[in-house]
Homo-oligomer: A and B are copies of this chain.
């Protein structure tokens, strides 16, 4: 049966990895390809980097956040957030304000321009997502949701343990 490699398949290929069947490679190629279809929107058309797009989406979904919360929400590290925030502030898409309750925190909010930009990108991004996922049956989409959760959990475990 054709499937993502199992131990049995592997033993048959005696010590050589066929990249085309190596799961981490296949996944990387797929993710890069999907990422590029969305990047054509926010990058080519609206001149945002991937990090800037993620921060924009985080603030659109959460109204206002401290930088550290953006980092948690986007899986970016605090340094990447800091850079993206600085760029978005320069472009006047967000404002930065000290939290009076704890002045270490900078409260981030989209400006009307930032929100407008986001509203332009969202339907386009959704259309791309929909078009890609329409390649799958409903059952496959349901299966994929479960599969991705399982794989992510396992991969995180593995990396943390080294």
Q: Is the CB of B145 within 8 A of A143?
A: no
> Main SS of chain A's interface residues?
helix
Chain B residues with Cβ below 8 Å from A33 are 152, 155-156, 159
Instruction: Give how many A residues have a beta carbon under 8 Å from the other chain's beta carbons.
Output: 73
User: Is A111 an interface residue when CB atoms closer than 8 A count as contact?
Assistant: no
Whole-angstrom distance between the Cβ of A148 and the nearest chain B Cβ: 6
Q: Which chain A residues numbered 49 to 84 have a C-beta less than 8 Å away from chain B?
A: 54, 57-58, 60-61, 73-75
Residue of B whose beta carbon sits closest to that of A119: B15
User: Is A122 an interface residue when CB atoms closer than 8 A count as contact?
Assistant: yes
Whole-angstrom distance between the Cβ of A128 and the nearest chain B Cβ: 6
Instruction: Please give the residue numbers on chain A whose beta carbons come within 8 Å of chain B beta carbons, in ascending order.
Output: 1-7, 10, 15-19, 22-38, 40, 54, 57-58, 60-61, 73-75, 119, 122-123, 125-126, 128-136, 138, 140-148, 150-156, 158-159, 162
Query: What are 9 of the A-B contact pairs (CB < 8 Å)?
Result: A2-B142, A5-B133, A6-B138, A15-B123, A17-B126, A31-B32, A37-B155, A37-B159, A40-B159
